[in-house]
Amino acid sequence: MPAHADFVAGVVAALDHVRAQHVGQRVLVVSSGGPIAHAVGAVLAVPKASVVELNLRLRNSSVTEFAFSPARHSLATFNTLPHLDHPDLGDWVTFA
């Protein structure tokens, strides 16, 4: 396991890579809750304790979207489930 600071630096480096290398493109990144929570936390500049809370609220298969420009990332959506938005699929919604 990497040190926490190294883990967070890796998440931020991935965000920076997307911002630097993919201007004007759509990019799909598939990950687990920890990196997603840390990416959201980095973009919103929230305290570490809030990142833990973000991670605990993530639902399995949820979608989080960022908008980005050469200068910055912005959070567009967090933890959405448009693919499960049907009454018959309510029991498919689970937490990590």
Range of the domain at 28: 4-92
pLDDT at 70: 85
pLDDT digits (tens, 9 = 90+) for 35-90: 999 999 999 999 999 999 999 999 999 999 999 988 889 999 999 999 999 999 98
Count the domains in the chain.
1
Helix (H) or strand (E) holding 45: none
Q: What is the mean pLDDT of residues 10-14?
A: 97
Band (pLDDT 50/70/90 cuts) for residue 1 is: confident
Give the C-alpha separation, 48 to 75, whole Å: 17
pTM: 0.90
